Amino acid sequence: MQEHKIKISNMLTKDKLKEKFLTIVNEYKISLKTLNIVTQVSIESLSDFVNGKKEITDLFLIENRGLFNLIIFLSDGMPASVVSEDKRVKAVIELLVLLFGLEYETIALYAGLNKQDIASFMQDTASIDYEKKYKLAAASLMLHYLFKNPSNPSLLGR
């Protein structure tokens, strides 16, 4: 049946997307409960998808288009074998700048560093020592978390 070869995007078919989803659940041990909390897609719908009762397109159309990005990121973009820790931190900083309009100076203030440390790290991740990288990673991840999820009560413990 041709339906299983319908393209979700230019690169992925529904079958490939389901394979990536199952990788997240089975190999990386991310539970359906966790995916529910993060995406707001019901556990029942996620379970129906895993068990073949729903298609991935049903989940996007009915509940949450963010699930697509999460599947791609968690299956391909997260493993340390694929993306180094430095590149991950750099990507978070890029998102803070592009999506939330933060300046390097603001990130530096929260990290207890100077603006030049951030600029240097963004040019060459080996240019600052591990202590500064740790401070930068901790501050960047917390800022991203706070800005990305300010209204999700389940993530803020409300």
Domain boundary among 77, 96, 131: 77
Residue 47: domain span: 2-77
Q: Residue 116: which CATH number?
A: 1.10.260
Say if residue 145's pLDDT is above 80.
Answer: yes
> For residue 155, is it within any domain?
no
Looking at the fold, whether 17 and 67 belong to one and the same domain comes out as yes
Domain boundary among 21, 45, 77: 77
> For residue 23, is it within any domain?
yes
What is the largest distance, in Å, between two alpha-carbon atoms of the chain? 59
Looking at the fold, whether 71 and 90 belong to one and the same domain comes out as no
Q: Which residues contact 149 (CB under 8 A, 6 or more apart)?
A: 155, 156
Say if residue 135's pLDDT is above 80.
Answer: yes
**Using CA atoms, how far apart are residues 106 and 139, in angstroms rounded to an integer?**
10
> For residue 158, is it within any domain?
no
pLDDT of residue 84: 86
CA distances from 74 to 27, 29, 90 (A): 11, 11, 17
Say if residue 17's pLDDT is above 90.
Answer: no
pLDDT of residue 120: 97
Highest average pLDDT, of 3-7, 44-48, 98-102, comes from: 44-48
Q: pLDDT tens-digit profile of 66-78?
A: 666 677 667 766 6
Q: Determine whether 158 is exposed, middle or buried from the number of CB atoms within 10 Å of its CB (0-12, 13-18, 19+).
A: exposed
**Using CA atoms, how far apart are residues 15 and 4, in angstroms rounded to an integer?**
6
> For residue 90, is it within any domain?
yes
Residue 12 confidence class, pLDDT cut points 50, 70, 90: low
Secondary structure letter of residue 151 according to DSSP: T
Looking at the fold, whether 59 and 102 belong to one and the same domain comes out as no
Residue 39 confidence class, pLDDT cut points 50, 70, 90: confident
> For residue 48, is it within any domain?
yes
**Number of separate domains in the chain:** 2
> For residue 130, is it within any domain?
yes
Looking at the fold, whether 68 and 6 belong to one and the same domain comes out as yes
Looking at the fold, whether 6 and 70 belong to one and the same domain comes out as yes
Looking at the fold, whether 8 and 68 belong to one and the same domain comes out as yes
**Using CA atoms, how far apart are residues 130 and 62, in angstroms rounded to an integer?**
44
> For residue 120, is it within any domain?
yes
Average the pLDDT over 123-135 and give the result. Answer: 97
Residue 144 confidence class, pLDDT cut points 50, 70, 90: confident
